[in-house]
Amino acid sequence: MKLYYARMAPNPDRVRYFLQEKGVWDQVEKTEISIMKNEHRTPEYRKISPLSHVPVLELGEGAGLTESRAICTYFEGLYPEPNLMGRDAVERATIEMWDRRIELGYFMMIAGWFRNSHPAMAELEKPQSAEWAGISEGRARKAITFFDKRLGEAEYVAGDRFTIADITLHVALGFGKIVKFKPWEEHANLAAWRERVSVRPGLKI
């Protein structure tokens, strides 16, 4: 088993924080890939990650496991404690709901905003759509007010304990800095949650 990952990239960071929260990041064999040097586009890398996605978890011969959340699902099975994805059907479904709301409603809006507006993405994202960047920005700004309200009613995103949904929000907020969006500066519940989670050893850089 080997994890191919990248530094300073949001999806690889979701897996890294997940493994750090499990306390097993240092035990997993890893190889760092440079996206800037296009190391994820070599024929050799594509054998394990045919869509050039990073991260990928090599499990044996042939193609490996991609999609950060699916990699987390695998590690949740391998290292069940501390539980981050739910213990029974209701909890698993509730955590998945909140994780998806963060990912689809906020994280992806930040991605749409960044990829379609940032000069650093001009080469990777062809064509960029300034119009879509603007629509995504508006949706990100609207979505975060919903999550701020949620965090006034619950201590953590999915309820009364820390889960993968908090990791996804943590990564998404960090990702937003690249478009200078720091919603915790104007949303008090979000700011309080951010203080609560940022002291966790598992969420350290």
Binding mask 128-147 for a second copy (x = CB under 8 A): -x-xx--x----------x-
Q: Which of residues 11-40 bind a second copy (CB under 8 A)?
A: none
Among the listed residues 27, 110, 17, 11, the one whose alpha carbon sits nearest the alpha carbon of residue 69? 11
For a second copy, the closer of residues 107 and 162 by Cβ is 107
Q: Is 166 in the site for a second copy (CB under 8 A)?
A: no
Distance CA 189, CA 30 (A): 36
**Helix, strand, coil proportions of the chain in percent (round to 5)?**
60, 5, 35
Backbone angles phi, psi at 146, to 5 degrees: -65, -45
Q: Is 168 in the site for a second copy (CB under 8 A)?
A: no
Backbone angles phi, psi at 140, to 5 degrees: -65, -45
Distance in Å, CB of 125 to a second copy, minimum = 9
Q: Is 71 in the site for a second copy (CB under 8 A)?
A: yes
Q: How many of the chain's residues bind a second copy (CB under 8 A)?
A: 31
What are the Cα distances from residue 118, in Å, to 92, 98, 121, 122, 149? 36, 28, 6, 7, 29
Check: CB of residue 109 under 8 Å from CB of residue 137: yes
Check: CB of residue 66 under 8 Å from CB of residue 55: yes
Binding mask 77-116 for a second copy (x = CB under 8 A): xx---------xxx-xxx-xx--xx---x-----------
Q: Which residue stretch of 10-18, 20-28, 63-71, 180-188 sits at the interface with a second copy (rule: CB under 8 A)?
A: 63-71
Residues in touch with a second copy (CB under 8 A): 50-51, 59, 65-67, 69-71, 73-74, 76-78, 88-90, 92-94, 96-97, 100-101, 105, 127, 129, 131-132, 135, 146
